[in-house]
């Protein structure tokens, strides 16, 4: 965890921010455009500058690469990559990590990302963590653990984010013992990072709590909060409460969430937009929609974050009409809001309203977002507008598993129209191609096989559907059964399906869980 705190210093040293050379007006303009997300304009200005005139190349190229990543524009990123190679900046640590981030977030083929990683002149903990996380996201947990061992051989000390990624990899390959070992190391690293400080303040504690939350270690986040507040007597701020409320929501802890709400009022943070938005989200995730709406109504100055939180609450509970209603009342929508309202339109099969939202998204947003465009593909596919879905799909610079799933679902749901007759067998071929691409991206993901089997059934290809089941069995791919959660005496238990009847798993919480 100490390395997380030191990371920023090493990056600043790499950039040599104390350079005596002042940036030219055009360089300042590029940095300003990057900050605003106006990528095309920034690249246009860059192309108008002679390479010899650029005095702050590391800062400039790193900013451009980060903007390309945010804009999900890999083609522009390739142009900047060419500039980096031409300028000989592959050796700069900050530029190299920005380049690696571009590939690991936008390129589904990990071999390309690995090639960039291997070409880095300096590999720090950020570089190693990026490639390890990339392998986990790509469904290759074995590779991520191998890279982790290589990292240790090179003497690079992992941080909490590295170890949390390795814990996820262990869970995916089913190695419980190894996962528990790494999980223990994660906890062991965060505590000494705080203990070694003579007087750790609220900011330090909040950083650790936030790191746990971002790593999906919600129990540990709550544990550190209580240590900070009860035993060290430190007063949490709005950001601390926002982080802890996120943990409560993800754990479904309504009682603890209410306890945090009371503390928010006690600390005089009512009206803080960050805290109030987190409260809305927490109550929604815990199934208390009425309380979420009450908190939202009390927010004096609502912004896109608080409105997006409420949209997420109604979308999660299936109240799609309320999602559309509140979206129309929003003065300013962000990317999350667009994605949520498009999912609501898909749930209502409201294709016309979805098209209106599509127009607003194109008009308002300065860059393309893979989550929003995946929601568009899902909307059009569910509503039977396969041509629209395919058009959005083919124009997307980057596609994720949700995008591929949506296209296959569209073929499966509209199979009678699109795939049922021999004259439309080309669509069946397209569905097969999409499914094979999905399986290539993540071979252990069961839904890819299930959706392809559904497509085969929709056109009467029963033997092929059965063959998919045999392939799943041979590869050890299993469909994960759904389960529900229930809170009892501030303890969380799950319901697992057994046959046609759901029987609650016997809950012996004092033994199974040690809740803080």
**Please, which pLDDT band fits residue 56 given cuts at 50, 70 and 90?**
low
* Enclosing H/E stretch for 487: strand 484-488
In this prediction, residue 473 carries a pLDDT of: 82
pLDDT greater than 60 at residue 285: yes
In this prediction, residue 148 carries a pLDDT of: 86
In this prediction, residue 178 carries a pLDDT of: 53
Q: Is the pTM of this model over 0.75?
A: no
In this prediction, residue 42 carries a pLDDT of: 86
Residue of 50 and 499 predicted with greater confidence: 50
In this prediction, residue 483 carries a pLDDT of: 55
pLDDT greater than 80 at residue 59: yes
25-39, 82-96, 277-291, 476-490: lowest mean pLDDT where?
476-490
In this prediction, residue 276 carries a pLDDT of: 92
pLDDT greater than 70 at residue 135: yes
pLDDT greater than 60 at residue 318: yes
Query: Mean pLDDT over residues 260-286, rounded?
Result: 89
Euclidean distance between CA atoms 227 and 209, whole angstroms? 11
Q: List, in sequence order, every residue forming a beta bridge with 487; answer none if it has no partner.
A: 492
The DSSP letter of residue 227 is I
Q: Which residues contact 38 (CB under 8 A, 6 or more apart)?
A: 366
- Two tokens, residue 52: 């010899």
**Please, which pLDDT band fits residue 423 given cuts at 50, 70 and 90?**
very low
- Summarised one tens digit per residue, pLDDT across range 4-41 is 333 333 333 333 333 434 557 778 888 888 887 788 88
Closest CA to 428 of 405, 406, 446, 412: 412
pLDDT greater than 50 at residue 247: yes
The rounded mean pLDDT for the chain is: 75
Q: What's the start-to-end Cα distance of the chain, in Å?
A: 22
Query: Mean pLDDT over residues 383-408, rounded?
Result: 78
Percentage of the residues of the chain whose pLDDT score is greater than 90 = 11
In this prediction, residue 293 carries a pLDDT of: 93
pLDDT greater than 70 at residue 286: yes
Buried-state track 310-327, b at ≥16 Cβ within 10 A, e below 16: bbbbbbbeebbebbbebb
Euclidean distance between CA atoms 388 and 381, whole angstroms? 8
Buried-state track 488-507, b at ≥16 Cβ within 10 A, e below 16: eeebbbeeeeeeeeeeeeeb
Query: Mean pLDDT over residues 329-335, rounded?
Result: 82
- Summarised one tens digit per residue, pLDDT across range 213-235 is 877 778 888 888 888 777 667 77
23-32, 94-103, 112-121: lowest mean pLDDT where?
23-32
- Widest CA span in the chain: 75
Query: Mean pLDDT over residues 247-257, rounded?
Result: 90
**17 three-state secondary structure:** coil
pLDDT greater than 50 at residue 200: no
In this prediction, residue 279 carries a pLDDT of: 93
pLDDT greater than 80 at residue 44: yes
Closest CA to 282 of 242, 239, 238: 242
**Please, which pLDDT band fits residue 69 given cuts at 50, 70 and 90?**
confident
In angstroms, what CA-CA distances link 330 with 95, 303, 353, 424? 38, 8, 16, 43
- What is the separation of C-alpha 345 from the centre of its chain, rounded to a whole number of angstroms? 22
In this prediction, residue 500 carries a pLDDT of: 41
């Amino acid at each position: 965890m100490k390395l997380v705190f030191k990371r920023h210093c090493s990056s600043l040293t790499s950039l040599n921010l104390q350079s005596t050379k002042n940036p030219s007006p055009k360089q300042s303009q590029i940095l300003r455009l990057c900050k605003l997300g106006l990528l095309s304009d920034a690249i246009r200005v860059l192309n108008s500058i002679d390479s010899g005139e650029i005095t702050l190349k590391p800062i400039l190229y790193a900013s451009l690469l980060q903007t390309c990543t945010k804009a999900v524009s890999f083609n522009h990123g390739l142009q900047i990559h060419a500039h980096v190679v031409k300028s000989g900046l592959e050796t700069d640590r900050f530029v190299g990590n920005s380049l690696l981030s571009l590939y690991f977030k936008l390129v589904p083929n990990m071999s390309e990302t690995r090639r960039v990683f291997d070409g880095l002149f300096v590999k720090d903990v950020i570089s190693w963590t990026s490639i390890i996380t990339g392998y986990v996201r790509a469904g290759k947990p074995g590779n991520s653990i191998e890279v982790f061992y290589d990292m240790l051989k090179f003497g690079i000390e992992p941080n909490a984010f590295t170890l949390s990624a390795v814990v996820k990899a262990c869970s995916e390959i089913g190695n419980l013992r190894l996962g528990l070992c790494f999980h223990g190391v994660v906890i062991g690293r965060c505590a000494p990072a705080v203990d070694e400080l003579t007087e750790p303040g609220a900011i330090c504690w909040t950083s650790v709590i936030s790191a746990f939350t971002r790593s999906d270690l919600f129990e540990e986040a709550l544990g550190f909060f209580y240590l900070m507040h009860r035993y060290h007597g430190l007063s949490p701020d709005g950001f601390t409460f926002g982080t802890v409320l996120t943990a409560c929501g993800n754990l479904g802890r309504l009682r603890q969430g209410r306890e945090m709400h009371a503390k928010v009022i006690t600390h005089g943070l009512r009206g803080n937009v960050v805290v109030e938005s987190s409260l809305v989200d927490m109550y929604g995730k815990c199934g208390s929609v009425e309380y979420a709406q009450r908190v939202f109504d009390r927010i004096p100055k609502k912004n896109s974050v608080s409105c997006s939180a409420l949209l997420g609450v109604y979308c999660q509970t299936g109240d799609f009409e309320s999602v559309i209603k509140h979206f129309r009342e929003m003065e300013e929508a962000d990317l999350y809001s667009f994605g949520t309202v498009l999912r609501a339109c898909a749930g209502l099969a409201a294709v016309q309203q979805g098209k209106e939202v599509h127009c607003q998204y194109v008009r308002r947003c300065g860059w393309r977002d893979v989550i929003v465009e995946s929601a568009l593909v899902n909307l059009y596919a569910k509503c039977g507008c396969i041509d629209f879905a395919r058009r959005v799909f083919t124009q997307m610079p980057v596609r994720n598993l949700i995008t591929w799933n949506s296209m296959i679902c569209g073929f499966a749901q509209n199979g009678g129209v699109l795939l049922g007759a021999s004259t439309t067998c080309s669509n069946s071929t397209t569905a097969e191609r999409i499914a094979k691409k999905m399986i290539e991206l993540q071979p252990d993901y069961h839904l890819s096989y299930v959706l392809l089997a559904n497509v085969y059934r929709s056109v009467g290809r029963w033997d092929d559907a059965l063959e998919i089941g045999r392939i799943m069995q041979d590869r050890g791919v299993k469909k994960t059964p759904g389960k529900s959660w229930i809170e009892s005496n501030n303890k969380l238990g799950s319901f697992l399906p057994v046959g046609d009847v759901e029987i609650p798993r016997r809950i012996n919480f004092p033994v199974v869980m040690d809740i803080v």
